[in-house]
Amino acid sequence: MADTLDIVVDKEIDARGSFCPGPLMELIRGMKTLPIGGTLAVLSGDPGSLKDIPAWLAKAGHELLATEPHEGYTRFVARKAR
């Protein structure tokens, strides 16, 4: 995956205070509000998100643009594909 820290997203959700399955739920809700082709970033401090968010994006048919590790959390960037 390319260095995508400079991607401008349409929407950013800070779900760091949210406990499992909160960040995934925030992502699913956020995706619903986006038009096709829109981009969304979700910040999650839940280690489960590292597996769950890519799994959900793959299942739902959306594109994972970046998984950025930060101190104590991960920033996931996705594009709504359908």
Q: How far apart are CA 3 and CA 47, in angstroms?
A: 21
CA distances, 66 to each of 3, 40, 50, 72 (Å): 8, 11, 11, 17
Question: Taking a C-beta distance cutoff of 8 angstroms, is the pair 47, 2 a contact?
Answer: no
Whether 9 is catalytic is no
Using the minimum distance from each CB to other proteins, give the nearer residue, 5 or 51: 51
Q: Provide the CB-side half-sphere exposure for 70 (13 A, CA).
A: 13
- The answer to whether 11 contacts other proteins (rule: CB under 8 A) is no
- The answer to whether 64 contacts other proteins (rule: CB under 8 A) is no
Query: Shortest Cβ distance from residue 51 to other proteins (Å)?
Result: 11
Contact positions with other proteins (CB under 8 A) in 20-39: 20-22, 24-25, 28-29
What is the binding site for other proteins (CB under 8 A)? 17-22, 24-25, 28-29, 52, 55-56, 59-60
